[in-house]
């Protein structure tokens, strides 16, 4: 995996304490501060912050029934890091749309897909390739185009039944 740091955590002083104070806070305390609008779920808060701070691409999938705060986590990430995040709904997401967006917005570091299980399976396939290799490749009438990207995927799902297959779930995502 490509080595990558998320500088946006350092740029968002409102979400993260001053550097001297940050050194004194544990990962759990920083996670509780970052996701303070969400009640409970402290272990998930810590896991999410670890994924955000990871030097490597740490794709993250939160799985759970409706009303279990999965989307709230994604909204908190988007709110705190707006300029680096692209938020989309799974039902409205296509491989071509993601590829075009990534190509036109290379500064985006995170793509959040809410309810990825609602994304059509053929588009999940393209997303899986991007997660594995860090690139999208399309071919149209003998014209092949490749878009390379280091974006990280954060996603939610109500269940794993409608995901492309368990390979997608088991191999590419950290799960809550």
For residue 83, being part of any structural domain is answered with yes
142 within some domain: yes
List helix spans (H) across the chain.
8-11, 19-24, 27-34, 42-53, 70-80, 95-104, 121-133, 166-172
In a domain, 51, yes or no: no
Domain assignment present for residue 13? The answer is no
Q: CA 87, CA 98: separation in Å to the nearest integer? A: 11
Distance (Å, whole) CA 82 – CA 84 = 6
Question: How many domains are contained in the chain?
Answer: 1
Q: Domain of 88?
A: 57-175
In a domain, 23, yes or no: no
Residue 49 lies in a domain: no
CATH for 133: 3.40.50.300
Mean pLDDT per 10-residue interval, the chain, length 176 residues: 43 49 79 92 92 88 90 91 88 88 88 92 83 80 82 89 60 52
Backbone angles phi, psi at 42, to 5 degrees: -60, -35
Tell me what pLDDT residue 8 has: 52
Residue 71: its pLDDT value, please? 92
pLDDT value at position 4?
38
Residue 33 lies in a domain: no
Which pLDDT score is estimated for 30? 92
Q: For residue 166, tell me if it sits in a domain.
A: yes
Entry pTM:
0.78
Give pLDDT, residue 142. Answer: 81
């Amino acid at each position: 995996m490509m080595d990558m740091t998320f500088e946006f955590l350092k740029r968002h002083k409102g979400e993260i304490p001053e550097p001297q104070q940050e050194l004194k806070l544990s990962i759990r305390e920083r996670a509780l501060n970052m996701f303070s609008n969400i009640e409970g779920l402290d272990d998930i808060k810590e896991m999410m912050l670890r994924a955000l701070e990871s030097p490597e691409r740490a794709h993250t999938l939160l799985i759970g029934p409706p009303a279990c705060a999965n989307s709230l986590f994604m909204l908190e990430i988007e709110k705190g890091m707006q300029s680096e995040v692209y938020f989309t709904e799974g039902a409205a997401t296509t491989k071509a749309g993601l590829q075009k967006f990534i190509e036109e917005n290379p500064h985006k570091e995170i793509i959040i897909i809410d309810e990825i299980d609602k994304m059509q399976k053929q588009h999940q396939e393209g997303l899986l390739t991007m997660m594995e290799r860090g690139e999208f490749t399309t071919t149209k009438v003998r014209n092949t185009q490749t878009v390379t990207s280091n974006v990280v995927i954060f996603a939610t799902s109500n269940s794993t039944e409608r995901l492309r297959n368990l390979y997608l779930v088991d191999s590419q995502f950290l799960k809550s």
